[in-house]
Amino acid sequence: MAHVLTLFFPIVFVLTISFAPSVVTRRQCPKACRTFISSEVEEKVSRAVRNSGKGTRGPRGKQGLQGPIGPQGLSGPLGETGPIGPQGPRGESGPALSLPKCEPGEYLTSDGKQLICAKFGEEVCKAVAKCEGYQVPTPSLSSTPAPTRPPVKEYVNMTQFMKKYMIQTLYMDAWDLGTFSIGEQLFLGVSQLGGKSFVIYKWDEEHRFRSFQVLKVPFARKWQKFVVGEDVYFAVASNSRSHDSPVFKWNGDMFVPFQTLPTVKAFDIEPFKIGEDTYLAVAIYYGRGSHIFKWDGERFVKFQDIAAVGADVEHFRMNGSTYLAITGPFSRGAYALIYKWSGTRFEVFHRLPTGERAYGVKALSVDGIHFLAVARWKAESSLIFRWNGTQFKLFQEVPSRRARDWITITSPFMSSEKTYLAIVSSDRSPSIFAWDRYYSKKFAKVQDIPSERTRDMVFFNMGETVYLAVASHRSTDIYQGS
Ligand SMILES: [Ca+2]
């Protein structure tokens, strides 16, 4: 206020001086003149007061909140035409071609759809000497190309998993990934290598995984979800000498411990059913052999020991029979051991030579063909075997280095079923293949995934979209297929 006054008084003083003559010579200034002067004085005074009230500029205020997202822009220009796809399969042979028998005065021609007989026109009659009764020589098949259509091209439009469609990264020391659904809810389960925990994430409405539950599992390795009756469970192999492998049960809100399976250094668990019975095969990596547990109506009890140690066990069905494949350490021989259900127990069925130590095994069926894919740790490639009716024969070899496992998904959407198979290679980029039923009739390479020291991967579906989760030693990336 004091500041205002010190400015104010001099201004009033100056104004008074400047208008003093007009005040003194009052008579010479009429009413309009006086009104003008007083309004001038008022305005100058108020302006002076306004100016005197202005302080130094204050500090910049905080940035405001971001406004709402604006309306979506117009769609961009049409993209360039894609490359020509591979040639489609050869069509089925059509019905035998029969030439129509033309009458005299007719000739054989085509209307674009079929061969027909047409009468000679006047022009043709003029050109040939004798039109009436002239027999046109019937052309041979080779000289008359039948109207053909170009072979139908099948475009193998395979979903790709691009860096720009990476929708989430989860930071953790993952060892084994898996997804499963309970009703409409999708979960991602991750066994942690460093921590003594098993972490469950839940897919939310924003299409992101959010941490849902952390369960204590020392040395968690591979795991699987399964259902007994209406109840949902999952079992985790514990690669520990002193801890058994736990089974958890969904109680409607969360997973709670259900029972433990007596194991020492378990590496993988495979649930499967034979008829109404539920079994758990547990691959033990050290010691004498692996175990099979059976559900007795209330819990799992030991059912059978099999003399195979392994890092991975897989079950599959062929022609009504149940099989187990187990891959073990090299010291036991470079084999994948295959067991077959005899009706009462599993018996050794076949030793499948794998050349090098097999680390992971995956069974899949496409178009009625049974495959067994073996991931090899030491070799520079991994192998896909095909069942020929009596045994598995080498079908395809794909590059890999320190391969841990294979993953697969069959996506029933987008008009035709597509089967993907990917090799989880840890010392080189993992590769995705797709069953090419039309062209090469092999697993055709789709793409490589830019990932180093890959631990595990998993495909999953939400709606019609295929997603891929890729775990490396530090983080897990979630890709949306496009
Ligand atoms: Ca397995």
Q: Higher model confidence: residue 90 or residue 180? A: 180
Mean predicted lDDT score pLDDT of the chain: 78
Q: Output the pLDDT for position 159.
A: 84
114 CA from centroid of ligand 1 (Å): 57
For the stretch 345-357, pLDDT in tens is 999 999 999 998 8
- For residue 301, the cross-strand partners are 294
* Residue at token pair 């002076």: 48
Q: Rounded distance, CA 32 to CA 291, Å?
A: 115
Each residue of 352-383: pLDDT tens digit? 999 988 899 999 999 999 999 999 998 999 99
In the predicted model, is pLDDT for residue 49 greater than 60? Answer: no
pLDDT of residue 412: 79
C-alpha 258 – ligand 1 centre gap (Å): 21
Global pTM value: 0.67
Q: How far is the CA of 338 from the centre of ligand 1 (A)?
A: 13
Q: What is the pLDDT of residue 102?
A: 57
Give residue 148 CA to ligand 1 midpoint distance, Å. 50
Contact 326, 372 (CB under 8 A): no
What CA–CA distance (Å, rounded) separates 374 from 381? 10
Q: Pick 37 or 92 by higher pLDDT.
A: 37
Ligand 1 centroid – CA 473 distance (Å)? 20
Q: Is a pLDDT exceeding 50 seen at residue 258?
A: yes
> Is pLDDT at 32 greater than 80 in this prediction?
no
Q: pLDDT band for 154, please (50, 70, 90 cuts).
A: very low
Q: Looking at residues 25-53, what average pLDDT do you find?
A: 55
Q: How far is the CA of 188 from the centre of ligand 1 (A)?
A: 17
Which comes out higher in pLDDT, residue 223 or 51?
A: 223
Please say if the pLDDT value at position 209 is more than 60: yes
Distance 270 CA to ligand 1 centre (A): 6
Mean pLDDT of 316-334: 86
How do residues 409-462 score in pLDDT, each as one tens digit?
A: 998 765 678 899 999 999 999 999 999 988 899 999 999 998 989 999 999 988
Distance CA 405, CA 5 (A): 86
Distance 269 CA to ligand 1 centre (A): 6
pLDDT in tens, 93-149: 433 334 556 566 565 555 555 555 666 554 444 443 444 444 433 333 333 334 444
What's residue 388's pLDDT? 95
- Ligand 1 centroid to 268 CA: how many Å? 6
Distance 222 CA to ligand 1 centre (A): 7
How many angstroms separate the alpha carbon of residue 251 from the centre of ligand 1?
25
Q: If you measure from the C-alpha of residue 456 to the centroid of ligand 1, how many angstroms do you get, rounded to a whole number?
A: 12
Cα–Cα nearest to 28, from 15, 40, 17, 37 = 37
CA of 326 to the centre of ligand 1 (A): 8
For residue 58, give Cα distances in angstroms to 2, 53, 259.
Answer: 20, 14, 68
CA–centroid distance, residue 453 to ligand 1 (Å): 20
pLDDT at 158: 79
Tens digits of residue pLDDT in 231-253: 999 999 999 999 999 999 999 99
Question: What residues does 249 pair with on adjacent strands?
Answer: 233, 256
**Ligand 1 centroid distance, CA of 209 (Å):** 24
At residue 76, the pLDDT reads 47
Q: How far is the CA of 375 from the centre of ligand 1 (A)?
A: 12
Identify the pLDDT of residue 253: 95
C-alpha of residue 252 to centroid of ligand 1, in Å: 27
Q: How would residue 44 be classed by pLDDT, with cut points 50, 70 and 90?
A: low
Task: Find the length of the chain.
Answer: 482
Q: Which residue has the higher pLDDT, 289 or 25?
A: 289
The pLDDT-based confidence of 60 (bands split at 50, 70, 90) is: low
CA 218/CA 350 separation, integer angstroms: 34
From the CA of 411, how far away is ligand 1's center (Å)?
20
CA–centroid distance, residue 267 to ligand 1 (Å): 9
Could you tell me where the beta strands, DSSP code E, fall in 193-285? 197-203, 209-216, 220-228, 231-238, 245-250, 255-261, 266-274, 277-284
User: Average pLDDT in the 249-262 region?
Assistant: 97
Strand, coil or helix: what is 403?
strand
pLDDT band with cut points at 50, 70 and 90 for residue 39 = low
